[in-house]
Amino acid sequence: MNETNRKGDLMTDPIDTTRRTLLTAGAIGAVAAATTVAIGGGAHAQSTTPGAAPPPGRRNLGGLQVSEIGLGVQNNARTFPTLIPNRDAQVDLIRAAYDQGVTFFDCAEFYGPHECERILGEAISSFRNDVQITTKFGFDLDLQTGEFFGGLNSRPDHIKRAVEGSLQRLNTDRVDLLYQHRVDPDVPIADVAGVVGELIDEGKVLHWGLSEPGLSTLRLAHAERPLAAVQNEYSVLFRNVETDVLPLCRELGIGFVPFAPLGYGFMTGAIDMSTQFVPTDYRANTTRMDPENREPNLRLVEVARDWAARKGATPGQISLAYLMAQGPDVVPIPGTTNLQHMRENARATQVILTADELVELTSALDAIEVQGERAPPIVEEWNGTEASDA
């Protein structure tokens, strides 16, 4: 499959350490200011008091303590149904990420569908108590087969049964962080909070969150049952969240988990004007990747490359470091099927941007106006949706 030109695979990662040096470096990170990037690794504690400072190498999402960077386990799900190239390799990759200090793994019933939860459950079985796993409900899937019926479904009875299925596939008795994948406009968010609250009371779910919610829904959901995190698209390529949902999360004390933090690979430098996407690739259907938009948008990658040279890093690491530098409540979850890429991404925690550097980098990014839309219209319809009571 001619998915990308693979240039990014050849890019060297100048930052190379073992888990041991990551852990040592974590101690240094403890003194990093809120506007700097701390350093990864650390203990595997699960929950903490909201507002309390996490130990070195950890970050707080509401009351959930996680590694500074996570791993998305969607496994190249830019096509639907998900293309899982090599199941065993994905299991190994998750285990290698854990060895690298990553303890926060992002999943959903939708990924696979179902299969990515099984892969994650298998991969973490021997260290389940040392990691924090997420999954998501909210798309209208057949609960047995995972067949996608094309819409949303957050009816309380459906949520309950969906979570039972997730727990089975993940081979666990609890989900550390359960998200509503998209707000269902036909179901009051109070009802969703109610049923998730019951799951929390039963111990099957420890924390909950929303993905791409409308702002009123976010406020109302948090008032009904406090949220640990919002998971929205956020990358150097898509910074719109900085003006609305991220400040609102800060106001409410909710953590922020950027999905597609590498701009679906764009910010690694692996995509250029010669890259051709297969028609089922999600990126083939987003206008920001159309050649006439891609060309101006590639200026962002040039900025990341300049900073990479300056900081002894890679463009992808600079892009992740930019997100982590926004504050200690931001935990990106880059996705990859490639072991070297995973290691490179995990080491982005070592790229320290000072407050002055962050200002300078931000102003270079501000000077570039991103062209094109981030999502196809059918997907964009689900973003920023308000529930019927919000």
Ligand X SMILES: NC(=O)c1ccc[n+]([C@@H]2O[C@H](COP(=O)([O-])OP(=O)(O)OC[C@H]3O[C@@H](n4cnc5c(N)ncnc54)[C@H](OP(=O)(O)O)[C@@H]3O)[C@@H](O)[C@H]2O)c1
Of the residues 15, 124, 230, 270, which one makes contact with ligand X according to CB under 6 A: 270
The window from 44-52, 195-203, 331-339, 351-359 that contacts ligand X (CB under 6 A) reads: 331-339
Binding-residue total with ligand X (CB under 6 A): 28
DSSP string, 190-254: HHHHHHHHHHHHTTSBS-EEEESB-HHHHHHHHHHS--SEEEEE-BTTB-GGGGTHHHHHHHHT-
Q: Which stretch binds ligand X (CB under 6 A): 22-30, 46-54, 151-159, 254-262?
A: 254-262
By CB under 6 A, the residues from 337 to 376 that bind ligand X are 337-338, 341, 344-345
- Phi/psi-derived region of residue 113, left when phi > 0, alpha when psi is between -120 and 50, beta in every other case: beta
The answer to whether residue 209 forms part of the interface with ligand X (CB under 6 A) is no
User: Any contact of residue 333 with ligand X (CB under 6 A)?
Assistant: yes
Closer residue to ligand X in complex, CB, 214/261: 261
Strands 104-106 and 71-72: parallel
Would residue 234 show up in a list of annotated catalytic residues for this protein? no
- Annotated catalytic residue within 98, 111, 264, 322: 111
What is d(CA 215, CA 301) in angstroms, rounded to the nearest whole number? Answer: 30
Question: Which tokens in the block code for residue 242?
Answer: 């900085």
Nearest to 323 by CA among 313, 312, 308, 334: 334
| Residue of 91, 334, 349, 374 interacting with ligand X (CB under 6 A) | 334
Least Å distance, CB 73 to ligand X, is: 6
- 271 is a site residue for ligand X (CB under 6 A): no
Amino acid at the residue 260: A
* From candidates 98, 104, 208, 259, binder to ligand X by CB under 6 A: 259
Residue of 263, 304, 350, 390 that binds ligand X (CB under 6 A): 263
Instruction: Locate the DSSP E strands across the chain.
Output: 58-61, 64-67, 71-72, 104-106, 132-137, 139-141, 148-152, 177-180, 208-211, 229-233, 255-259
Active site residues: 111
Q: Which residues bind to ligand X, rule: CB under 6 A?
A: 8, 72-74, 76, 106, 181, 211, 231, 259-265, 268, 270, 316, 333-338, 341, 344-345
